[in-house]
Structure 1
């Protein structure tokens, strides 16, 4: 049996979302087991693009990074279970969620040398840039 905290404003928020279309219909943060959307930071360096995904509690073996049709797809799942037993007290808390994020790759990414590492709940994907030689400007004389 799943025990969830009562939220008196949940129905009002759902009604407001439907009436005013502020948000697409998405699972609520409370009471939905599969609600898990990690935050993502992207930046461009001189030699590579960097994607950092905050995924605390996700094991390395539960992270999947795929490259398909010039799209980088990062997916995975986390599960957490905490059990606490005392003389007259027994509590189990668990959470579970799957996630997937997709990124369109720029033309100058070296797809053969993409690297990923995970440390302290942060996944970093490094997308090296291809070395593009600047073309010389050739003057053409008008006759």
Structure 2
């Protein structure tokens, strides 16, 4: 008698491979389920947010700040066209994304900069010196 470990997901994976065996999911999944990867870091004078946006044009990226929340959003589209002698095929897919970040109180919102280069969006949020809100009131 041969013992095997029960895998509850085996039947599901078998069904999935039968249903999708003729489709190239690598391209479709990367476009339809688009969630960009983000790296954040704090420097001495600024906070930095780097967003990996391959295939996204600068014109399709939007960066907004409202109520100390930085929102990076956009859309990328993918179009594959194949022309052969006996057939013509076009596949179009797109993906929208939104990422939000709470900005600390010690930032200069008016001077935030965003730059896109080679599929990487870099957002620089300058720091400011904290304002001393303590006030002495003379007693009369």
Q: Which has the larger share of helix?
A: 2
Alignment of 1:78-93 (within 5 A): 78-93=76-91
| Counterpart contact for 2:62–2:73, Cα < 8 Å | yes
Q: 1:9 — aligned with what?
A: 13
How far residue 31 of structure 1 moved from its aligned partner, in angstroms, is: 6.5
How far residue 85 of structure 1 moved from its aligned partner, in angstroms, is: 0.9
Q: 2:117 — aligned with what?
A: 119
- SS of the residue corresponding to residue 9 of structure 1 reads helix
How far residue 132 of structure 1 moved from its aligned partner, in angstroms, is: 4.2
Is 1:128 aligned with 2:132? Answer: no
| Counterpart contact for 2:34–2:95, Cα < 8 Å | yes
Task: Give the gaps of 5 or more residues in structure 1.
Answer: 1-7, 13-28, 135-143
Q: 2:39 — aligned with what?
A: 41
Aligned length: 111
User: What is the Cα-based RMSD across aligned positions, in Å?
Assistant: 2.7
Superposed CA deviations along residues 59-113 of structure 1, whole A, max 9, x for unmatched, are 1111111101110000001111121212234333332100000000011111010
Task: Give the gaps of 5 or more residues in structure 2.
Answer: 1-11, 17-26, 133-140
Distance 1:10 1:49 in 2: 46
Larger Rg: 2
TM-score, normalised relative to structure 1: 0.68
TM-score, normalised relative to structure 2: 0.69
Moved more, 51-60 or 84-93: 84-93
